Amino acid sequence: MGSNGPVLIFDSGLGGLTVLREARYLLPYETLLYVADDAAFPIGRWPEADLRDRMLSLFGELIAIHRPKAIVIACNTAFTLAGDALRKAYPDVPFVGTVPAIKPAAERTSSGLISVLATPGTVRRTYTRSLIDSFAKQCHVRLVGSDNLAELSERHLRGETVSNEELLTEISGCFLERDGRRTDIVVLACTHYPFLANRFRRIAPWPVDWLDPAEAIARQLVRVLGAKAASSPSSDPDRALFTSNPDDPGLSRLLAGFGLILSAANGA
């Protein structure tokens, strides 16, 4: 792909903005293109074969139109399902993926009790189990699948009311007490969830480390770009495309807060 293309950051909705925020801090001269497949949201409920086909087709269109210099898949569900297939289908494009931060959690835990808060799709994925087998065999890792948390995060980010009771219902399974020890780390295995982390801290039954993957993903992007990282400002604006082509002034205002202009999706 052309080195002058944007860095494309993909998610199913607004969650990848946590990664975009870190990427802009570490790569201030890079042109960023945020793509949300909100027409498919929440993607964790899709049958796996259908979702993989959708990802391959969608990325084919995005690559042909925008010629990105790198792609960040800021979505555990999409990457753990389709990451390998995308890399094989588009070998000329560097992909940066998102996987549950199980390795750093295992390195940090004192109690040995870790929870992974994720979408049901990420919880089901063999990829997630293999990370546990590789990096956290000495720990007790509880996988907690939430059907609703990504949607609650979107509502929260858009300024809608989300009650503590709704949130506690989704996260209460993360807290385990065993032999005088307690869960001390919760891996946020969906990029939507860090937007709710301050709420989680207030309602949690005891303090834990909420592990946000956004900074690690952005640092990996820096490593992947290497010498190809932009070294001077660009005149191109940072833009956001949503596959549902929403006409939503509230969304435009929200994205402006992240330095993004909402654009038409050009059929992608």
**β pairing state of 181-182 and 177-178:** antiparallel
Cα 233 to chain centroid distance, Å, stands at 26
CA–CA separation, 225 and 220 (whole Å): 9
d(CA 172, CA 176): 9
Tokens matching residue 82: 């389709």
**Active-site residue identified among 75, 204, 208, 265:** 75
Dihedral of the alpha carbons of 63, 64, 68, 69, in degrees to the nearest 10 = 100
- 75 is annotated as an active-site residue: yes
What order do you get walking across the sheet with 140-145 strand by strand? 140-145, 113-118, 185-188, 209-211
Does the bond joining 213 to the residue before it have cis omega, within 30 degrees of 0? no
- Spot the catalytic one: 101, 114, 190, 204: 190
Annotation says 190 is catalytic = yes
Q: Are strands 70-73 and 209-211 parallel, antiparallel or unpaired?
A: unpaired
Collapse the DSSP code of 52 into the 3-class scheme (helix H, G, I; strand E, B; otherwise coil) and give the result: helix
Catalytically annotated residues:
75, 190
